[in-house]
């Protein structure tokens, strides 16, 4: 049961976990039962035109079991060539949470981008990054003279984490990361996100969905095949007609691999193999990230029927968020819906 000390805070529910666990479909049923509105927690679904590769629900698919529409937020916010940061996401998502509460509904965070999730539910704030036009111009001049790889190597020395995330050809982000380090003496990967020593802003109940690794990997294989069948190659081809391949948005999973194929850097078969491998690696990283959060109640999906899963989650949210008098039932007559907090 949520503590009395948290009862004054706004309630927020979350269904999170690795890719391909069926979060979106389950969330529709949960939202329909609890007057919920879904807030996507996905760093790529914010971009317009990036639909198939992100498994974004189409407007006609955003409905509950009764066929009634379920409001979705943080989808199709910006174009792929527009900058969008975790700080932008935090600000917009928290504003949306306030709006949902004013309507008397429940905000339901759904997705697998750990940093975006944490930026909303934890007491993080983002520092304003200093800027200096002279420093920036000097870095741009170095890139023009010696190439982007020169800047990437320098970044690797002072901020390996940022270097891992930024493509060597993404000159704008390379320059910004080095500029931040030069001006602050701190890596941009740590300078942007600071945590205050205070309580989290919401009364949170979070469910993490998981399943045995081999089952998850099989679902990933099937998801990639489905994306290809739905027209992922055509989607990426259209994006490349409009935007630079090296934009951060187009370096996202699926778009990077298929983009490399369309540029003649790899074969189609190799691109699909890489996409499946990289998706498996993403799932492992997502699990590692979320396992650190002690508040998450992990729900094992193996052998469970969808109805059992959704009923359990609905009762769990009602209990933890004081949404009603129902007590959460951890056992069913026919199967145990086993779950546990992180240890």
Query: Do 107 and 38 form a contact (C-beta atoms < 8 A)?
Result: no
**pTM given for the model:** 0.82
And the tokens for 213? 């690794």
Strands, sheet with 36-41, edge to edge from the N-terminal-most edge strand: 72-73, 36-41, 106-111, 11-16, 203-210, 296-300, 339-341
User: Between helices 171-184 and 133-146, what is the axis angle to 10°?
Assistant: 130
Name, in order, each residue with C-beta under 8 angstroms of 337's C-beta and a sequence gap of 6 or more: 299, 304, 308, 309, 312, 330, 331
As a residue count, the chain comes to: 343
**What is the set of domains in the chain, with CATH numbers?**
4-126+195-341 (3.40.50.300), 133-191 (1.10.20.140)
Between CA 7 and CA 115, with CA 317 as vertex, the angle to 5 degrees is 85
Per-residue pLDDT of the chain (343 residues; tens, 9 = 90+): 444 467 789 999 999 999 999 999 999 999 999 999 999 999 999 999 999 999 999 999 999 999 999 999 999 999 999 988 888 999 999 999 999 999 999 999 999 999 999 999 998 877 666 778 888 889 989 999 999 999 999 999 998 888 887 888 888 889 988 988 888 888 876 655 555 557 899 999 999 999 999 999 999 999 999 999 999 999 999 999 999 888 889 989 999 999 999 999 999 999 999 999 999 999 999 999 999 999 999 999 998 898 999 999 999 999 999 775 444 434 333 334 555 565 4
């Amino acid at each position: 049961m949520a503590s009395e000390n948290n009862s004054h805070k706004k309630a927020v529910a979350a269904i999170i976990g690795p890719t391909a666990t069926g979060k979106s479909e389950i969330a529709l049923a949960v939202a329909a039962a609890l007057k919920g509105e879904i807030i996507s927690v996905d760093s790529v679904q914010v971009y317009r035109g990036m639909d198939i590769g992100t498994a974004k629900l189409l407007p006609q698919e955003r409905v509950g079991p009764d066929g009634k529409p379920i409001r979705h937020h943080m989808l199709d916010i910006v174009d792929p060539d527009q900058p969008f940061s975790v700080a932008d996401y935090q600000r917009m998502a928290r504003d949306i949470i306030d709006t949902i509460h004013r309507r008397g509904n429940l905000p339901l965070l759904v997705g697998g981008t750990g940093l975006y999730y944490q930026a909303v539910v934890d007491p993080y704030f983002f520092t304003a990054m200093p800027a200096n036009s002279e420093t920036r111009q000097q870095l741009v001049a170095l890139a023009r003279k010696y190439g982007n790889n020169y800047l990437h190597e320098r970044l690797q020395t002072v901020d390996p984490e940022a270097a891992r995330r930024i493509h060597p050809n993404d000159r704008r982000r390379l320059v910004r990361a080095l500029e931040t380090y030069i001006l602050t003496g701190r890596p941009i990967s740590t300078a942007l996100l600071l945590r205050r020593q205070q309580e989290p802003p919401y009364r949170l109940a979070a469910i993490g969905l998981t399943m045995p690794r081999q089952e998850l990997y099989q679902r990933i294989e099937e998801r990639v095949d489905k994306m290809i069948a739905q027209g992922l190659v055509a989607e990426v081809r259209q994006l490349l007609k409009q935007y630079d391949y090296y934009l951060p948005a187009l370096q996202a999973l699926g778009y990077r691999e298929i983009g490399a194929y369309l540029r003649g850097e790899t074969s189609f078969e190799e691109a699909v193999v890489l996409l499946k491998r990289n998706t498996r690696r993403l799932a492992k990283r997502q699990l590692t990230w979320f396992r650190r959060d002690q508040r998450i109640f992990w729900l094992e999906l193996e052998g469970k029927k969808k109805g059992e899963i959704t009923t359990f989650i609905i009762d769990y949210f009602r209990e933890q968020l004081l949404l009603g008098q129902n007590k959460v039932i951890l056992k069913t007559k026919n199967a145990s819906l086993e779950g546990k907090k992180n240890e």
